[in-house]
Structure formats: C-alpha cells, structure tokens
A and B are shown apart, each in its own frame.
Chain A
C-alpha cells in the first residue's frame, strides 16, 4: 500500500540531546514537508523540500535540521538548540507539478516527542 510512515510513534528525549524523526513515503512524491503541532496552535511549517538535495526553511526552522538525500526520505533532527521541542510532529508529501495543480498534501501518522 502506498503511504507515508513516521517512526517512532512516541519518542522520549533527555534535555540536551539531539534526536532524529523518520519520515518515509512510497508515493513517488517530489515534495515533502515537516510540521509541528502544539495545542491551540494548529500546524506550523518547519522545513520543506521540493526536490531531492534541496530544502528550505519554513516558519519555525530554528533548532531543527533536515536532509533530503533520497526522494523517499526526509528525516528531521531536533537539536539541543530547540528550546521547547515537546510537540507532535507531522510529515507530509505531495506532487510538485506545474503551478496551479492541487498538489494535495498527504500526511503521515505523526510522532509525539517528549523531552524529559
């Protein structure tokens, strides 16, 4: 079945440690995205990538890093520089066709990160 997987579902980290969240898709989508969700805040864009080996900062990129070495994978690293990393993290992907196409985003099941 085609879809997006995120692992792990729950992640616990000690303060001061870096941690990497996995996101894999087999939808053959060019574009991938990382969002952070906090209670009452909706979803906020952390990083996005329109094509392999290229990515751009979103609205809240500070304290995060990403890589896009393969089309299928877009891992997110939460570094110790992120002041308040406890949140729910969602990965999404979409096609990246010519401007004007819907390019609907499909979401993974999310990872809940808790800093102890």
Chain B
C-alpha cells in the first residue's frame, strides 16, 4: 500500500522569505500523480500544485514550485516571497494513475505553516 509522510508537523517563515515543505512517499507504482493542498483556517481544501510522475520537469504555479525527485520518492513544496495569506495547513497527497482505486487520494498528516510579519 502507498503511504505519504510529511516529517514537519509545523514550520515557520518570515514574510517575503522562502520556505520548503517536505514530503516523501512510498509506492511500487511507476505511474501516479502528486499534489499539494492548502487548508486555511476556513478549512476549505484548495489545490496548490500537482505533478505527474512521468514528467521530469518540476511543476510551478506562480510563487509555488515543487522539487520532484522520483528516484528518492520525494516531493517538496517551495513557497517563495511568503505572504500572510499563505499561513495554513499544507497536505501532500498521492494518487495512483491505474487500477480500481486510481481516483483515491492518499494524504500525509500535514504541515502547519505560520507566516511571521
């Protein structure tokens, strides 16, 4: 079974600085997707960024980028120019691309990010 591990329960960053959130996963599959979701205090889950395993190029969405290391099974999220609105829980998630459960997300336990003004 696949697992997702986020080793940092809490992180803190100064406004305008850069922070990296870690995520590792375990799978025997070669074809899958990886996601980062943000959950602000409102508790609404918001997709931040996504990556297809077969793409070597790291995904980027404005100030958010990932470092995808397939061999190491690592998928870290970098937030540049941090803003107060970035303060939230961040969840890393895995989804198989094949098979009966290919739609299901497997989540890590989350990292709580605080942004200091």
B36 to nearest A CB, angstroms? 12
Residue A76 is within 8 A (CB to CB) of chain B in the complex? no
Q: Report the interface size class on chain B.
A: 20 to 34
For residue B99, which residues in chain A have a CB less than 8 angstroms away from its CB? 99
B108 to nearest A CB, angstroms? 6
- Give the contact stretch, choosing among A18-26, A63-71, A77-85, A104-112: A104-112
For residue B107, which residues in chain A have a CB less than 8 angstroms away from its CB? 42-44
Which B residues between 71 and 113 are near A, CB-CB below 8 angstroms? 91, 95, 97-100, 102-105, 107-110
Cβ-closest chain B residue relative to A40? B109
Indicate if the CB atoms of B105 and A43 lie closer than 8 Å. yes
Indicate if the CB atoms of B110 and A42 lie closer than 8 Å. yes
Residue A113 is within 8 A (CB to CB) of chain B in the complex? no
Indicate if the CB atoms of B98 and A99 lie closer than 8 Å. yes
User: What are 6 contact pairs spanning A and B, CB under 8 A?
Assistant: A40-B109, A90-B45, A99-B99, A100-B97, A104-B50, A105-B105
Q: Which residues of B contact A (CB under 8 A)?
A: 9, 31, 33, 35, 42-45, 47, 50, 52, 91, 95, 97-100, 102-105, 107-110
Give 16 new A-B contacts, CB below 8 A, not counting A90-B45, A105-B47, A110-B44. A33-B104, A33-B105, A40-B109, A40-B110, A41-B109, A42-B108, A42-B110, A44-B107, A56-B100, A92-B45, A102-B33, A103-B103, A105-B103, A107-B44, A109-B44, A110-B43
